[in-house]
Amino acid sequence: MSATHSGYINSSHVQPEFERKLSSYIASALSDPLPDHVEERAKLHILDTIAAIVSGSRLTPGKKAIAYVASEGGRPEAMVIGSNCLTSAVNAALANGMSAHADETDDSSAAGAMHPGCIVFPAALAAAEKWARSGTDLIRATALGYDLAVRFALALGAYKFHNAGHAVPGFCGVFGAAGAAAALAGLDAPATGAALSYAAQQASGLSSWRRDADHIEKAFVFGGMPARNGMAAVTMVASGMTGVVDVFSGSPNFLGTFGVVGATSSSLIAELGIEFEIAKTTIKKWCVGSPVQPALDAIEILMKERGLKAEQVKSICIHLPTTALTIVDKTTMPDLNIRNLAGALLVNSALTFDMIHDHRQLTSPSALDMARRIDVQGSEELEALRPQRQAIVVVDLKSGERLTHRTYVVRGTIENPMTSEEVEAKAFDLLAPVLTKARAANTLETIRNLESVADVRTLRDLLMLA
């Protein structure tokens, strides 16, 4: 059922050695077993992303995306999770990508300054459905997509690229989506090179998403757009369209046009098959923006270990990396606003998914009163430690005592990972309200044994709703 494109010919270009190595690696990825620990980690990220899509399908960005693709129609190739809609693989990648990043529940790569799961998995799933692939194929293609997305971000200098006004997910994640889809489509190496070129032509995005109070455009830029564009690149080439095969080393080329000083194509293939980015990507404990995570960890530890209570607090100062302030300080997005989130955690002694999306709780008089006591300051010391995310929380009590905690390693990172049981518990809590408890439990069991699934289209019985 694959769309193998052999004998690919484009008379104006010969694939150079670098492109040949990269494309050949992608083309053979489904044949190469992953190390056991990487395969298990990949299944956890797939589960975490499915949970983000299912829960996000009930949030405004997800609802808008589902309604949009339903109105567009399309051949019934792939499912829109959380709905009864079957549509084209390209449309499904868009909708599921936007649902996956409808809020800040999905996984996060600090090194890549992006959320790879909401880009790569929606494209991989749509491609796996379109070409009737197995669960093992889906696992391997997903891991491949993480490797490509993050490596492109590193090659471009993710944080400098972001600070220059570019949206890293749209520029770099698109290659993760395209690579995963190309492998699942069965494209050979030259055709894969052309698909990457079509992805490069669609690489885009502006960090103006920060002004989107509704999180809809952000969901498009961070998830839906790169997933859709990567999927579109592959379907175009699979249909017979030709293109250049040296987009990374010819003249002009992608890295030369957008890269920072020192960006080289060799960094894109370094350690491929040895170092796996999916094993380094954070699965979030908190369903909030990544820069907020270390501060919430610190506050929770002070509550548990020092008995901190809201009524004791006179004032709080949260120290974050300087550039993080542009994302989380005074933003109108509730799941990114660090003052509201920290205030709600203290007032409620917990911060659940439902609380984060209930504006009444985040803006209750007691939560707002606590938020007004919180100051947020940028720290050049913490900035210098990026991509590692740290925070220092200093709490002055009404009694005159001062409590301080510094989060060095965020819960959910590879250095301080959540257990499989914790990830499954998080997923179940997100899946059950939409799918029912029985279907949520079946979904967990199916993903645990995803390598046994012969055709991923059988997942529709679990993830689609009437």
The pLDDT value recorded for residue 262 is 57
pLDDT at 94 over 90: yes
> With contact defined as beta carbons under 8 Å apart, do 181 and 126 qualify?
yes
Q: What are the residue boundaries of the structural domains of the chain, listed by start?
A: 17-279, 290-407
Mean pLDDT lowest for which of 111-125, 179-193, 346-360, 402-416?
A: 346-360
pLDDT band at 11 (very low <50, low <70, confident <90, very high): very low
CA atoms within 13 A on the CB side of 451: 11
Handedness of CA 227, 337, 353, 39 (dihedral sign): positive
Interval 358-378: pLDDT, tens: 878 888 899 999 999 999 999
pLDDT at 6 over 70: no
CATH superfamily of 290-407: 2-methylcitrate dehydratase PrpD (3.30.1330.120)
Rg (CA), the chain: 22
pLDDT band at 46 (very low <50, low <70, confident <90, very high): very high
Mean pLDDT lowest for which of 5-9, 125-129, 146-150?
A: 5-9
Residues forming a β-bridge with 109: 114
The pLDDT value recorded for residue 200 is 97
The pLDDT value recorded for residue 249 is 85
Q: SS3 letters for the chain?
A: CCCCCCCCCCCCCCCCHHHHHHHHHHHCHHHCCCCHHHHHHHHHHHHHHHHHHHHHCCCHHHHHHHHHHHHHCCCCCEECCCCCCEECHHHHHHHHHHHHCCCCCCCEECCCCECCHHHHHHHHHHHHHHCCCCHHHHHHHHHHHHHHHHHHHHHHCHHHHHHCCECHHHHHHHHHHHHHHHHHHCCCHHHHHHHHHHHHHHCCCEHHHHHCCCCHHHHHHHHHHHHHHHHHHHHHHHCCCCCCCCCCCCCCCHHHHHCCCCCCCHHHHCCCCCCCHHHCCECCCCCCCHHHHHHHHHHHHHHHHHCCCHHHEEEEEEEEEHHHHHHHCCCCCCCCCHHHHHHHHHHHCCCCHHHHCCHHHHCCHHHHHHHHCEEEEEEHHHHCCCCCCCEEEEEEECCCCEEEEEECCCCCCCCCCCCHHHHHHHHHHHHHHHHCHHHHHHHHHHHHCHHHCCCHHHHHHHHCCC
136-143 mean pLDDT: 98
pLDDT at 278 over 60: yes
pLDDT at 7 over 70: no
Q: Which residues of 298-329 are buried (b: 16+ CB within 10 A; e: fewer)?
A: bbbbbbeeeebebebbeebebbbbbbbbebbb
The pLDDT value recorded for residue 357 is 86
Q: Tell which wins on pLDDT, 326 or 280.
A: 280
Interval 255-265: pLDDT, tens: 889 876 556 67
Which residue type occupies 351? Answer: L
Mean pLDDT, all residues of the chain: 93
237-241 mean pLDDT: 97
336-360 mean pLDDT: 91
- CATH of 17-279, picked from 3.40.50.300, 3.30.428.10, 1.10.3720.10, 1.10.4100.10, is 1.10.4100.10
Q: How far apart are CA 423 and CA 344, in angstroms?
A: 23
Residues forming a β-bridge with 79: 86
Q: Nearest Cα to 414, choosing from 146, 218, 98?
A: 146
Q: How far apart are CA 223 and CA 61, in angstroms?
A: 11
Residues forming a β-bridge with 402: 396
The pLDDT value recorded for residue 327 is 85
The pLDDT value recorded for residue 362 is 84
Interval 22-44: pLDDT, tens: 999 999 999 999 999 999 999 99
pLDDT at 13 over 60: no
Quote the percentage of the chain above a pLDDT of 90.
80
Model confidence, pTM: 0.92
The pLDDT value recorded for residue 363 is 84
The pLDDT value recorded for residue 412 is 95
Q: Tell which wins on pLDDT, 213 or 121.
A: 121
Mean pLDDT lowest for which of 131-145, 230-244, 247-261?
A: 247-261
Q: How far apart are CA 81 and CA 465, in angstroms?
A: 8
The pLDDT value recorded for residue 265 is 72
